[in-house]
Structure 1
Amino acid sequence: MRTDARSTYPRRSRLVGVVAALLLLAAPVPAAQAAGGVEKAVPATPVTVPALSDWAPESGQYVYGRGTRLVADGKAERRVADTLADDLRAAGHGSVPVVGGEARTGDIVVDVAPARAALGKEGYELRAGKRLSVTGATETGVFYGTRTILQLLAQGDRLPAGRTVDVPQYEERGVGVCACYIHITTAWLENLVRDMAYNKLNQLLLELKVKSDAHPEANTWGYYTKDEIRRLVALGEKYHVTIIPEINSPGHMDPWIENRPDLQLTDSDGNKQPSRLDITRPEAFAYYTSLMDEYAEVFKAGSWHMGADEYMLGSDFAKYPQVLEYARAKYGANATPQDAFIDFVNRVHAYAAGKGKKLRIWNDGLTGANTVPVTAGTTVEHWLNVATKPSQLRDQGYPLMNAAYALYLVRGGFHSDTKGLYDQSWDPRSFEGEKLASRAGITGAKISLWPDNGRGETENEVAVDTDPALRHVAQATWGSPHPDATYAQFTARAAAVDHAPGWRDLTRVPVADGTYTFRAGSATMMAEVKRTPDGYVTLKTANGCLEVRGGKLTLNVPLQPGVEVSRGTCDPANTLQRWQLAPAQDGYRLVNAITQMAVHVTDDGRLVQYPPDQQPPAVWQLTAG
């Protein structure tokens, strides 16, 4: 798999956001020469992320108040207005009625006007005066206009009068998350979807495991149930974030085939390779496509990501002579082992196309050692500098997305230097190893989150670094890569607009620090509860701090269900000693911050970790003292 902040991340109050906005606006602004030689300050552009590029100020202001209504005629407008009403309520702006008909002073008008084709699929026009109006050629465009409205209202209920036309530069603006191996909570992903939409990002790539009905032998932890994914996809649809699933193949397949040795590639010494699918076997292709079919039950995106990276990581094709034999049998005597790899990619492409989906792959498998070309129309997400350069891929007609390693955030490893990228005016033309002269053929860019050292950071800690990187890629893909003179001024924008309405502070601990007696059925323990800086708790007993260790490690994490919860020497740096107290009826569940498995009490009183759908989590009653 592609290879520090340690602070809490509480939701900021509106006052903090307003102060940050004032700091931003305190920066020098251009001045206009007035009559008589008097310098007159030009009205500042309202603060948003991404920044508004062409704000035209007018006299007066818009005032949001108790009489404000959302005026929406038509089904599309009504959907946007209903979502905006939900978000206004969540942001503390009260319950705003959605009505049709004529607008009046103080109203917010949403209007889908297909004739405004110049606004494109996602652009909008915003006008502020006696009333506030947002117009787009599509429902999505109007929706993005409402995100700007929410950001402006986060800074106060009075907006300066003016007008802007706001259109994105790139079609794909995204975040990639490997919720693979290491389980990431759905609450964390829901926060991400909301913040993505708030900052006008539109694509979330999720490499993850959905619990399989067709292949129960593949259901090693950590998976998501189909109902969990349905709820997440529905949230994405509401907020215009397309969620694209990935099952990485034919490499990195160990989460799926560790219990299927018949599908594992075998080397010349007879050793099975649990991470490599045997691309020469028709059964392997049938297995993979059956998983695609299951994912189609819950994901609605028109794209499928198959990964296709690092198939021979740490090895080479010479150790697998059957791959060359397969390639030559299919493509002739001049074929290479790489042709067999491309053949697998192309077969997946054809299968996805037959289901109405477009294929996406990583770029590092395109080494140039193949004679068989990748099927036209395959989107290549470029993350690594290899022999085949971005310019070559673009010249060959492949849609090209920038997923540069410079934009990565790796648990316990490399973190994107967001400040450095901002100061360099990084934009999606800057790939690893090459910068292209124009935007032509580039679909956009995304940041990527990987769990290479799964216990290196908790997901609350990951959120701290993700936020500035998310805001930066939103700015660089929507508008100018450098709207402010300094990075500090740019980060003040994020402070001013805060998080999306409905964003939940996942660092809150439901009980105060102190000593408690924990009771769950016949199990009893006394523990000192202490909040950690990242918003979890440690549980110190007479025999040490509660932790999970033992069993098979995956990415340095004990991910086997049934592993016993033990006591170890208390160590603030040991993330496996951090726990969530998750509220449950009449008590709390104990969930490990890293493994995301809950504590289950066995019949003989032992504490063991299990996914909640395999064994019922113990519900603990806490008594202070």
Structure 2
Amino acid sequence: MTSTDAARRWYALPHPSTVRLGGGAWRPGTAQVVAADECLAAEAARLQRELAALGIPPGTGSRILLRSAEAPITSSDAASTPGGAVASDEAYAIDVGDDIDIRVPSATGGFRATRQLLHNLRAQGCVPRGSVAGAPAVRERGVHLDAARKHYPAEWIVALLRAAADVGINTLQWHFSENEGFRLESAAFPEVVSAAHITRADAARILDVARDLHVEVIPSLDMPGHLRQVLAQHPHLRLPPGRERADAAITGTDHALDITREQAVAFAERLIDDVAPVFEGCGRWHLGGDEFVDFARIDDYPALRDAAHARYGADANGFDLLTAFVNRIAAHLRGHGFRARAWNDGMLRGSVVRLDAGIELTWWTNWHRQMRPLADAVAAGHPLVNVNDGLFYYVLGEHAGYRYPTAERIWAADWHPGLFPALPGGGRQEILHPYLDSLRGSCFAVWSDEPGAQTVAEVADGIRAPLRAMAERTWNGGSALTLAEFERADAAIGLPEGASPPG
């Protein structure tokens, strides 16, 4: 590729919000990375190592200055993309000439900016001269990993972190407990832990890598449902079965905690207490709240109905009891320094008890008419994360009718972070730009429903393109790239060092 060719295209994901390129390209024989501020020293040192690995050793051939921005960085023409951009500590502005000047508000911004340079070097061996700037349309770009139904070794999770952080993913929601497995070492309840699991030493290493890569780890311990593995060892804490009807058998409750009894709720809190120290310093916690019972027939569970009436009056129902449980667990998590989040399907459905407005809702579906619409959550002021299951659910074995996500379908939907799952009948649910502050961002979800359907290496390969597509369109609130341009960039950029997962 010639210098002229290089000047016409900036290869990086997520693509900058603004790109103004001139002629020629930057590819010195040597370079010296300088941090003008102590808070950027670690990022400067990281970039120096990464340049050397790409054949540009330390030296005086060119100077890269990494410095703090004097004013908040936004893109001057951000309105040219559907989502626009906001002032953020992840923002960056880069000027490339004989030397490179990088202005960022934080070390995280420094990491984002230096990925832009490295992507170009990996893709085309040089960096086009000119100016680029980027700022995210929303704060969060996440990946959820069901590492409970299927065991993903620590080295695989570390490789996932490196691959994801490279393209701007900044949260990993680590789902370590499910009906089919509990895969994190437990000090207080070793009997619930699956044979193949992550030790606390390995967990500490994963968290160290995540912090270094500016990725927030969000533990995910689903309750009061999805607890079959745990309750198999504590069957006395299960919810009593529901009532069978002539027209349908009731869903079993061997996975469901008996939230009508203080003993069971206190057990849930102790389970959290046991693993919370593993995630010290993390700011959020996913408590689940979904698929606890057959929500469409919640009145067929007499234990829930009777307890709700006894505590909250004749107008209350099982959803009030579930909401009260979620509120209590959220308060317990606050005591550990975590802000709680929950799946949307069982929330906002109580008659008497109101969901704590501070609980974040990860919005994955509105498949059933009785589930509350997105508008209710917006009106109540809940922070929202878009986990659109029709586009971003990577379900192993394509279980339950899901199809593996693809970049092509994401582009065909013209998806952006404000486009949520449709209502039954196809009703559109959308938050338009300028986005509400309550829209935190979006998340891609790996669910290991049929764990043998793919090897861990196949999972890594399968999620690469759609995860990057979500990252691109979440950062930019859409994308100025065509699908073909995105696919070219994805292929050219490849993976960073240490991001190839073990098989």
User: For residues 58-96 of structure 1, what are the alpha-carbon distances to aligned partners after superposition, in whole Å with 9 as ceiling and x for unaligned?
Assistant: 455423323x1221244321111233234345x443654
1:423 aligns with 2:435: no
Amino acid in structure 2 at the alignment position of 1:436: I
Structure 2 residues not aligned, in runs of 5+ = 75-86, 177-182, 245-250, 423-428
CA distance in 2, matches of 1:459, 1:378: 32
In structure 2, the residue matched to 1:598 is none
CA distance in 1, matches of 2:363, 2:267: 27
Where do residues 404-423 of structure 1 align in structure 2 (5 Å cutoff)?
404-406=388-390, 407-413=392-398, 414=402, 415-423=404-412
- Decide whether the 8 Å contact of 1:308 with 1:345 is kept in 2: yes
Of the three residues 63, 72, 76, the one matched with 1:107 is 63
- Decide whether the 8 Å contact of 2:417 with 2:478 is kept in 1: no
1:141 aligns with 2:135: no
Of the three residues 429, 444, 447, the one matched with 1:447 is 444
- Decide whether the 8 Å contact of 1:63 with 1:157 is kept in 2: yes
1:232 aligns with 2:206: yes
User: For residues 496-552 of structure 1, what are the alpha-carbon distances to aligned partners after superposition, in whole Å with 9 as ceiling and x for unaligned?
Assistant: 111122223535xxxxxxxxxxxxxxxxxxxxxxxxxxxxxxxxxxxxxxxxxxxxx
In structure 1, the residue matched to 2:387 is 403
In structure 2, the residue matched to 1:366 is 347
In structure 2, the residue matched to 1:57 is 21
Q: CA RMSD in A?
A: 2.5
In structure 1, the residue matched to 2:465 is 468
Amino acid in structure 2 at the alignment position of 1:503: A
Amino acid in structure 2 at the alignment position of 1:87: E
Structure with higher strand content = 1
Number of residue pairs aligned between Structure 1 and Structure 2: 462
Where do residues 70-89 of structure 1 align in structure 2 (5 Å cutoff)?
70-89=33-52
| Counterparts in 2 of 1:281 and 1:86: CA distance versus 1, 3 Å | farther
Moved more, 237-246 or 54-63: 54-63
| Counterparts in 2 of 1:115 and 1:371: CA distance versus 1, 3 Å | same
Amino acid in structure 2 at the alignment position of 1:305: H
CA distance in 2, matches of 1:291, 1:95: 50
Structure with higher helix content = 2
Moved more, 148-157 or 381-390: 148-157
- Decide whether the 8 Å contact of 2:171 with 2:217 is kept in 1: yes
- Decide whether the 8 Å contact of 2:36 with 2:65 is kept in 1: no
CA distance in 1, matches of 2:166, 2:195: 32
Q: How big is the shift at 1:253?
A: 0.6
Amino acid in structure 2 at the alignment position of 1:328: H
| Counterparts in 2 of 1:333 and 1:185: CA distance versus 1, 3 Å | same
Q: How big is the shift at 1:190?
A: 1.3
Amino acid in structure 1 at the alignment position of 2:386: N
- Decide whether the 8 Å contact of 2:117 with 2:127 is kept in 1: no
- Decide whether the 8 Å contact of 2:320 with 2:349 is kept in 1: no
Give the % identical residues.
Answer: 27
- Decide whether the 8 Å contact of 2:348 with 2:355 is kept in 1: no
| Counterparts in 2 of 1:64 and 1:94: CA distance versus 1, 3 Å | closer
In structure 2, the residue matched to 1:129 is 97
- Decide whether the 8 Å contact of 1:265 with 1:273 is kept in 2: yes
In structure 2, the residue matched to 1:497 is 493
User: For residues 364-410 of structure 1, what are the alpha-carbon distances to aligned partners after superposition, in whole Å with 9 as ceiling and x for unaligned?
Assistant: 11263432111011110111114311122112101111101121111
Of the three residues 4, 13, 32, the one matched with 1:69 is 32
User: For residues 104-134 of structure 1, what are the alpha-carbon distances to aligned partners after superposition, in whole Å with 9 as ceiling and x for unaligned?
Assistant: 6512221234644655211011111111222
| Counterparts in 2 of 1:133 and 1:309: CA distance versus 1, 3 Å | same
In structure 1, the residue matched to 2:145 is 177
- Decide whether the 8 Å contact of 2:295 with 2:346 is kept in 1: no
Q: How big is the shift at 1:215?
A: 0.9
| Counterparts in 2 of 1:464 and 1:61: CA distance versus 1, 3 Å | closer
SS in 2 for 1:277: coil
| Counterparts in 2 of 1:341 and 1:422: CA distance versus 1, 3 Å | same
1:320 aligns with 2:301: yes
In structure 2, the residue matched to 1:587 is none
CA distance in 2, matches of 1:152, 1:334: 61
Where do residues 300-319 of structure 1 align in structure 2 (5 Å cutoff)?
300-313=281-294, 316-319=297-300
Q: TM-score scaled by structure 1?
A: 0.70
- Decide whether the 8 Å contact of 1:105 with 1:130 is kept in 2: no
- Decide whether the 8 Å contact of 1:359 with 1:379 is kept in 2: yes
In structure 2, the residue matched to 1:376 is 357
- Decide whether the 8 Å contact of 2:460 with 2:501 is kept in 1: no
CA distance in 2, matches of 1:475, 1:494: 10
Of the three residues 258, 270, 279, the one matched with 1:290 is 270
Moved more, 134-143 or 154-163: 154-163
SS in 1 for 2:18: coil
SS in 2 for 1:107: strand
SS in 1 for 2:203: helix
Moved more, 493-502 or 166-175: 493-502
User: For residues 173-209 of structure 1, what are the alpha-carbon distances to aligned partners after superposition, in whole Å with 9 as ceiling and x for unaligned?
Assistant: 0111111121112222112111111101101111013
CA distance in 1, matches of 2:233, 2:495: 42
SS in 1 for 2:255: strand
Q: How big is the shift at 1:254?
A: 1.2
1:337 aligns with 2:337: no
Amino acid in structure 2 at the alignment position of 1:186: A
- Decide whether the 8 Å contact of 2:223 with 2:288 is kept in 1: yes
- Decide whether the 8 Å contact of 2:73 with 2:88 is kept in 1: yes
Q: TM-score scaled by structure 2?
A: 0.86
Moved more, 305-314 or 196-205: 305-314
- Decide whether the 8 Å contact of 1:483 with 1:490 is kept in 2: no
Q: How big is the shift at 1:148?
A: 0.8
In structure 2, the residue matched to 1:557 is none
- Decide whether the 8 Å contact of 2:18 with 2:132 is kept in 1: yes
Amino acid in structure 1 at the alignment position of 2:388: A
CA distance in 2, matches of 1:223, 1:392: 39
- Decide whether the 8 Å contact of 1:376 with 1:398 is kept in 2: yes
In structure 1, the residue matched to 2:83 is none
CA distance in 2, matches of 1:96, 1:274: 61
- Decide whether the 8 Å contact of 1:51 with 1:475 is kept in 2: yes
CA distance in 1, matches of 2:236, 2:70: 54
Where do residues 513-592 of structure 1 align in structure 2 (5 Å cutoff)?
none
In structure 2, the residue matched to 1:93 is 55
